[in-house]
Amino acid sequence: FFIAGYDTTSASLSHVVYYLSQNKDKQQILREELNALDTDFTYENLNQCQYLNAVIDETLRLAPPLGTIQRECVKEYKLGNTGTDPEFFPDPDQFKPERFLNPTHHPYAYLPFGCGPRHCVGVRFALNEMRMCIAKIVHNFEFTLAPGFQLTVLLVLLDAVGHVNTGVALVETLLTAGNRVIFLLTDRWRALLDIKHPNSRIL
């Protein structure tokens, strides 16, 4: 899981920085909690930082690195709805770490690492990694967004082995627009895109 989990953890850390940059008051609360620690950051004391853990939980609720986890989809499901049901999370589009300080939502309403026997094997490692990285960065730096910056999230469907499953038109559109996107493509799509975009690095 050391290899399989690096991209999901890095994506989550990027979203933490983004949401803290948007919410300076939350960033300051977290900084004060970290500054109150009398010793160097350790597994033990960071694990007890309630607001730090709430920031991570709220980030994973709003922007889970994997939008859905299941063996088989047995009924219709709207992508992007996991963790954003207002019945369980009032004001679901707002970044409110406080909602995880005393959580009241159903345990299956929040599933960033899955659940049951197929629960992510690397969950503890990932959370410890995020806690340490966030603590080090927030303790030493202040985040702010560049004027006019707006995060755009692209939802790309993948099949079980990581192939783009939305058709070559989407990938071609992204490359034509100059987006820096990494895809794992089938040989047929890779060859077709390489002809149309010879200067692109098609993996």
Digit-coded pLDDT (tens) for 118-168 = 777 888 888 999 999 999 999 999 988 888 877 766 555 554 444 444 444
Domain ranges of the chain: 6-140, 154-203
Q: Which two tokens stand for residue 176?
A: 């034509």
Name the helix (H) or strand (E) containing 11.
helix 6-22
Confidence of residue 100 (pLDDT cuts 50, 70, 90): very high
How many Å apart are CA 144 and CA 141, to the nearest integer?
10
Section 3-17 average pLDDT = 78
Q: Which two tokens stand for residue 7?
A: 């991209």
Residue 202 vs residue 78, higher pLDDT: 78
Query: Looking at the chain, how many residues does it have?
Result: 203
Please report, in angstroms and rounded to a whole number, the separation of the first and last CA atoms in the chain.
Answer: 22
**CA distances in angstroms from 166 to 7, 36, 108, 155, 156, listed in the order given:** 21, 48, 28, 10, 7
Q: Tell me, what's the pLDDT at 167? A: 44
Task: pLDDT band for 106, please (50, 70, 90 cuts).
Answer: confident
49 is in an annotated binding site: no
How far apart (Å, rounded) are the C-alpha atoms in residues 139 and 136? 5
C-alpha 153 chain-centroid distance: 11
pTM for this one?
Answer: 0.72
Band (9; pLDDT cuts 50, 70, 90) = confident
Q: What tokens appear for 150 in the block? A: 């707006």
* pLDDT, position 133: 93
- The position carrying tokens 């026997």 is 117
Contact 94, 86 (CB under 8 A): no
11-65 pLDDT tens trace? 888 889 999 999 999 999 999 999 999 778 999 999 999 999 999 999 999 888 7
Provide the pLDDT for residue 109: 82
Interhelix angle 50-62/123-140, nearest 10 degrees: 110
Listed in sequence order, the DSSP H helices in 40-186 are 43-47, 50-62, 123-140, 168-176
Name the fold adopted by 6-140. Cytochrome p450 (1.10.630)
CB 39 within 8 A of CB 163: no
DSSP 8-state class, residue 46: H
For residue 132, give the nearest of 52, 63, 65, 60 by alpha carbon. Answer: 52
**Nearest residue to 15 (alpha-carbon basis) of 177, 157, 152:** 152
